[in-house]
Structure 1
């Protein structure tokens, strides 16, 4: 039986017709939805009447039944036993993070917060409600903290440690073992795992509930392409801290008194006490179909991981080996020293880099993205919502960053190069997914080669050698010296590309 990797072109043609002429390399932002999923979802909505779940009508009961069925299926997708875990539907991973933060914010004596350098801004922002916080700049700092037994660490202050399973900047994957180690070694400390970027291609197994994160947040559009929905998976033995949050809304309460006295009684089930208001039940219906279609097309997350990791390894090696005629590297790649593209437990299918010119100077990130767009290549550039990772790899300290801000730099702008010598302010990122192909990798490497190594943009599907030969046909000009100059330039490019001299035919 052929693996789906060997059938990828067939799958792309059948399921992703909108990719015709497009090279999509931003799966870390959002992966792509298959046509079959959209058809199944539309057919389901056309054939059934789904009502607001907060009622006893047949349409309401149908929605309620689907919601609980899908909740169980998602837990099963991650091997999370309902005996030990509950799943709370939220808008996206950030909403799950905020739900945890809201609960900790309501702790009377406050809480301490620690987070890893590679954290997305959604994790970084939690520090604003803590009474004290620490950003761990390296893995060694995290591991030293976990192993430490200082008096300060043994106090009764509640603590929350958060980190991403995968950096959304460069795809570096953090040790999942930290969650279990924290539980064993750090009293009064909970763990929050941001699994959003990781789950685009990663395989998360929560079967070992003793070492699992207390709270795991995710966005399903990063796994399946659709629907726009997220979840917070809660370890039941850790849920007490969440269920004590003060806010309530919608059906999260059994009784509320408003007029004569302020009193309420909250529901006891974890998800019932946290899912405020009406659930996005149509999206949850779609999620059930997304799980089905994913299994039909790709099998398991492990198969997706193997496929995407193999492509990323090729992309990394080919970009790393691109050289100008003077031997200077074209790409400065930001790979963590602990990560390897040969090991998917340490590196996801993402390559973060910047492009240099032959003299070593930088090409602005937005210039690279603009050139890619002209060639129908979809990538991501900028700070990618990862302030710690970008600052570390680009060697910006807080003083320099603040100077850049004072000089007009903000997230998402085109201030590509700033400071002494013109240092990059952001990165270029390509990321691969379940439906990526070797053709995507080849197209992007070819684009970089043609645009920067050989100094000309790609045009359609014209192959470089054929294009050079066509350009070296007899030229006419009033200035013969310019004709000869162009011929010499094109012959040098031909020699660099092929290793042989050009002979006209």
Structure 2
């Protein structure tokens, strides 16, 4: 039985319509990059055809129009995450390293920070001790497109590698990449949502274009722009990417039916992707060779120590890893599996699920369908059932390696 299938029917139809430009490719790497949609691309191109956008540091009409859209996107982000615009600000930033540099590298404040024990390459959350006050930093990139949570009310419970043993309070910094949500064609647009009170302790010792209203070369003097976000966005923000993000939000809003709000559609997306997750994990776990040996060893992401809790409901991202095993229980090469999957128009990801060992990763998005899961199960069954490592290597060498 497929849980929540009736709730997902509209999303399945939507996904099939909006991914027609690459229906031949099944995308299972949503944690790294979301699928952009036909509607979003169409409206974005039409917008560029009929409207002129200019640098927001200018004062001409095109610059004013751009500044209006940029401000609207900031507000949409705050509303989407449940933040009070009077207390938090949105800073557009190139990526996670830049966000961490902005927070941690400064001259006047010394502090310590710890990180979750379960972190690998990505920083999911960090706790910072500045001037005897704990600050929390969350990277929500992997969950923002599928989990309906008001981040401002979040509680984090986990093991901390630091002198700080626990943390349960308001969030000070939230980071995420918009291209992982909307699959924005113009990459490199990330967001740091920061509490104004946390940013005001920064003693910034450098400045770029657009961050000051006045500076003097003869003496060390500068006058910061009044808005908090303007002080920390050195140079011109990628305004066309921000315009594209606006069309991403519009596309998401177009899925909202009468009587619903954005949180409601995120609830449906959550149920849909969780249904896909549970069904995929269940069906892959049931696959066996004729001799009874399991074909898949599923590594359930729900077993991690850290989790996000909202209104006492534990919410997990629809992501899992798995290894493929031959008739003798030996693991197939993860690299070879990825290559064969790509030739079959299935795009998979990788993860470090074991110490020093990569596994195959499936991260689901709201445009994935049950047909996608069926295709994955058929792919695994067709290529790996009742096959030994030796037979597989010979097959791979003849049909794939020679033509790669």
The answer, yes or no, to whether TM exceeds 0.5 is yes
Bigger radius of gyration: 1
TM-score, scaled to structure 2: 0.80
Shift of residue 346, structure 1, vs aligned partner: 4.3
Aligned to 1:412: none
User: For the Cα contact (< 8 Å) 2:324–2:331, is it kept in 1?
Assistant: yes
In 1, the alpha carbon distance for the partners of 2:247 and 2:313 equals 28
Matched, 1:245 2:248: no
Matched, 1:377 2:346: yes
Q: 1:257 aligns with which of 209, 216, 238?
A: 216
Secondary structure of the residue aligned to 1:251 is coil
In 1, the alpha carbon distance for the partners of 2:84 and 2:220 equals 37
Aligned to 1:319: 284
Secondary structure of the residue aligned to 1:189 is strand
TM-score, scaled to structure 1: 0.65
Aligned residue-pair number: 355
Q: 1:309 aligns with which of 259, 274, 287?
A: 274
Shift in alpha-carbon separation, 1:120–1:107, aligned structure 2, 3 A? farther
Deviates more, 1:277-286 or 1:434-443: 277-286
In 1, the alpha carbon distance for the partners of 2:178 and 2:313 equals 21
In 1, the alpha carbon distance for the partners of 2:78 and 2:385 equals 48
Aligned to 1:222: 180
User: For the Cα contact (< 8 Å) 1:21–1:376, is it kept in 2?
Assistant: yes
How does 1:10-159 map onto structure 2 within 5 Å? 10-100=13-103, 104-108=104-108, 110-119=110-119, 121=121, 123=123
Shift of residue 24, structure 1, vs aligned partner: 1.5
Secondary structure of the residue aligned to 1:436 is coil
Deviates more, 1:429-438 or 1:277-286: 277-286
User: For the Cα contact (< 8 Å) 1:329–1:356, is it kept in 2?
Assistant: yes
Deviation by residue 1:186-218 (Cα, 9 ceiling, x = unmatched): 942211100111113122313549933110001
Q: 1:196 aligns with which of 134, 141, 144?
A: 141
User: For the Cα contact (< 8 Å) 1:79–1:206, is it kept in 2?
Assistant: yes
How does 1:279-298 map onto structure 2 within 5 Å? 279-297=237-255
In 1, the alpha carbon distance for the partners of 2:346 and 2:146 equals 21
Shift in alpha-carbon separation, 1:338–1:261, aligned structure 2, 3 A? closer
CA RMSD of aligned residues (A): 2.7
Aligned to 1:143: none
Deviation by residue 1:219-240 (Cα, 9 ceiling, x = unmatched): 1111122253211001122222
In 2, the alpha carbon distance for the partners of 1:379 and 1:325 equals 26
User: For the Cα contact (< 8 Å) 1:309–1:344, is it kept in 2?
Assistant: no
In 1, the alpha carbon distance for the partners of 2:108 and 2:277 equals 47
Q: 1:333 aligns with which of 292, 295, 298?
A: 298
Deviation by residue 1:106-162 (Cα, 9 ceiling, x = unmatched): 244643221124436353xxxxxxxxxxxxxxxxxxxxxxxxxxxxxxxxxxxxxx6
In 2, the alpha carbon distance for the partners of 1:9 and 1:301 equals 15
Shift of residue 436, structure 1, vs aligned partner: 0.5
Work out which structure has the larger RCO, using CA pairs closer than 8 Å and 6 or more positions apart in sequence: 2
Aligned to 1:447: 379
Shift of residue 94, structure 1, vs aligned partner: 4.2
Deviation by residue 1:37-91 (Cα, 9 ceiling, x = unmatched): 1111111111111111111111111111111122112211112110121111122
User: For the Cα contact (< 8 Å) 1:115–1:163, is it kept in 2?
Assistant: yes
Secondary structure of the residue aligned to 1:297 is coil
In 2, the alpha carbon distance for the partners of 1:453 and 1:292 equals 44
Deviation by residue 1:364-408 (Cα, 9 ceiling, x = unmatched): 110111121121111012xx4xxxxx3xx4245xxxxxxxxxxxx
Shift of residue 4, structure 1, vs aligned partner: 6.9
In 2, the alpha carbon distance for the partners of 1:120 and 1:98 equals 19
User: For the Cα contact (< 8 Å) 1:94–1:122, is it kept in 2?
Assistant: no
Q: Which structure 1 residue ranges, 5 or more long, are not aligned?
A: 124-161, 165-178, 385-389, 397-424, 457-505
Deviates more, 1:78-87 or 1:225-234: 225-234
Deviates more, 1:24-33 or 1:111-120: 111-120
In 1, the alpha carbon distance for the partners of 2:27 and 2:122 equals 25
Shift in alpha-carbon separation, 1:238–1:327, aligned structure 2, 3 A? same
Matched, 1:163 2:132: no
Matched, 1:206 2:151: yes
Shift of residue 20, structure 1, vs aligned partner: 2.4
Q: Which structure 2 residue ranges, 5 or more long, are not aligned?
A: 155-167, 257-261, 389-404
User: For the Cα contact (< 8 Å) 1:93–1:196, is it kept in 2?
Assistant: no
In 2, the alpha carbon distance for the partners of 1:373 and 1:437 equals 18
Shift of residue 3, structure 1, vs aligned partner: 7.4
In 2, the alpha carbon distance for the partners of 1:17 and 1:349 equals 23
Deviation by residue 1:245-290 (Cα, 9 ceiling, x = unmatched): 32211111222222x3333232342201111111111111222221
User: For the Cα contact (< 8 Å) 1:72–1:82, is it kept in 2?
Assistant: yes
